[in-house]
Structure 1
Amino acid sequence: MNIFQIESRMNSFDRVYGGWLEQLRHLVDQLAAAPKPPTTADHHHQLHHLVSKFMDHYAEYYRTKAIAVDRDVLSILAAPWITALERSLHWIGGWRPTTVFHLVYTESSILFESHIIDILRGHRTGDLGDLSPSQFRGVSELQCDTVREENAITEELSEWQDGMSDLMAASSNLEGKIGKLGAIVQKADDLRLKTVRRVVELLTPQQAVEFLISASELQFGIRGWGLNLSNGPQ
């Protein structure tokens, strides 16, 4: 592959990511405008539809990324379409799956404290600050499972990196090694998507909307900080 082919592929995914991110902003606006708390069956249906639409958008991103990883995993890991700050926070080509749980617990604590008087009076708010014991248990169990899978993938990457010393050997199969790296990145992406899906399944539609908005705002915020750093004094 020559430099022009590499640049073409990088620019292609750059455009894909830019369009995906723009559509994500539109979806977040729709989530923010949805009725909360839902008071009618139509409201519940609307929230469920928006959450499904949002998750389909996430799944489409990872389907497209999987094709790009298969073609050129090194360019995907380099990720020139995002900021240096975003790359510094990456774990194997994307956000660390366990970040999801920190976000859920943080948002739940903030909302719980803001509604604590109502909650003590027995009023249910229905938001992330009103997670039930079974929901907390489900999130905790999922967190433990995710930590184990995350650690296993990290170990697999570590073994791949240790094995790269074999490149000095004349018989080294570089293409095969790069292919294995792509498989590791794919495992990481599969875990990212699976984690979000399983968290959303544990939440009510209202709570899922709040969670997805918070996750997106975090992503937009980090990107914004990264852009400001890039455009700041040199």
Structure 2
Amino acid sequence: MTFRRFYETWFDHLHHLVDQLTKAPRPATTQEESHKLLQLVHKVMTHCSEYYRVKSLAAEHDVLSVFSAPWSTSLERSLHWIAGWRPTTVFHLVYTESSILFESRITDILRGLRTGDLGDLSPGQFRRVSDLQCETVEEENAITDELSEWQDGASDLIGVCSGLDRKIEQLVRIEQKADDLRLRTIRRVVDLLTPRQAVEFLIAAAELQFGVREWGLNQDRQRENV
């Protein structure tokens, strides 16, 4: 199976998983419901891990195809950072969703009522999110610098083929580092959230992905019809 076919199947199943997340009871009022939320979060994270496992194999086979990402829309590719989404996007999403929910629940919060959702992050959670964001920015910058060095050396390949395999292997490692950071960032954010907050975060992340892809598909169709 080509990665493009895998991605289409994977993306369809993501829709199914998000539908399950959306229908899950929030807040969980029983131990059984809380366990169900944890199971759903685990299923989504396993689904994400499988995506990056298969993508890593695809990169080893043809890393240039992974960078060109023919399974993505033009809009999605314009937003890519090293063949995928930028890891620090996760933190902007957390802050945005938290702010929206906080404003919608501000009356209850001011009355001292805990909502338990993403709008009710504790000071400790905000501190850990901020620390994780700083760590992620440093790793992002290091990988970006590594890719810049790789690109700076591209002129050495002109007219010679002896070093091409080594350069491609370096590019594979850079892409895999970027994907590893993406997956680790999601995992670490989910780990510092409560089950309910994790469900809300994963729904928001998937809806952003769905929205960008749908908009991109519409733009590509319009361009083809011109």
What band does the TM-score fall into relative to the shorter chain? over 0.9
Q: Which of 74, 81, 105 is residue 71 of structure 2 equivalent to?
A: 81
**After the TM superposition, which residues 1-234 of structure 1 pair with which residues of structure 2 at under 5 Å, given as runs?**
12-168=2-158, 170=160, 172-232=162-222, 233-234=225-226
**For each residue in 1:83-108, what CA deviation from the matched residue of structure 2 results, as whole angstroms up to 9, or x when unmatched?**
00000000000000000000000000
Q: Is the 8 A contact 1:166 1:172 kept in 2?
A: no
Separation of aligned partners in 1, 2:47 and 2:161: 43
Task: Report the secondary structure of 2:2's partner residue.
Answer: helix
Task: Report the secondary structure of 2:29's partner residue.
Answer: coil
How much has 1:169 moved relative to structure 2?
Answer: 5.2
How much has 1:144 moved relative to structure 2?
Answer: 0.1
Separation of aligned partners in 2, 1:158 and 1:12: 29
TM-score by length of 1: 0.94
Gaps of 5+ in 2: none
Separation of aligned partners in 1, 2:27 and 2:2: 41
Separation of aligned partners in 2, 1:16 and 1:170: 35
Sequence identity, in percent? 67
Q: Quote the RMSD (CA, aligned, Å).
A: 1.0
Gaps of 5+ in 1: 1-10
Q: How many residues end up aligned between the 2 structures?
A: 224
Q: Is the 8 A contact 1:31 1:209 kept in 2?
A: yes
Separation of aligned partners in 1, 2:24 and 2:53: 28
State the AA in 2 paired with 1:222.
V
State the AA in 2 paired with 1:15.
R
**For each residue in 1:30-53, what CA deviation from the matched residue of structure 2 results, as whole angstroms up to 9, or x when unmatched?**
000000011111111000000001
How much has 1:168 moved relative to structure 2?
Answer: 2.2
Separation of aligned partners in 2, 1:170 and 1:193: 36
Task: Report the secondary structure of 2:83's partner residue.
Answer: coil
Separation of aligned partners in 2, 1:172 and 1:156: 21
**For each residue in 1:45-74, what CA deviation from the matched residue of structure 2 results, as whole angstroms up to 9, or x when unmatched?**
000000001000000000001100000000
Task: Report the secondary structure of 2:113's partner residue.
Answer: coil
Task: Report the secondary structure of 1:223's partner residue.
Answer: helix
How much has 1:231 moved relative to structure 2?
Answer: 1.1
How much has 1:170 moved relative to structure 2?
Answer: 3.3
Counterpart in the other structure of 1:4: none
Q: Is the 8 A contact 1:58 1:193 kept in 2?
A: yes
**For each residue in 1:184-215, what CA deviation from the matched residue of structure 2 results, as whole angstroms up to 9, or x when unmatched?**
00000000000000000010000000000000
Counterpart in the other structure of 1:7: none
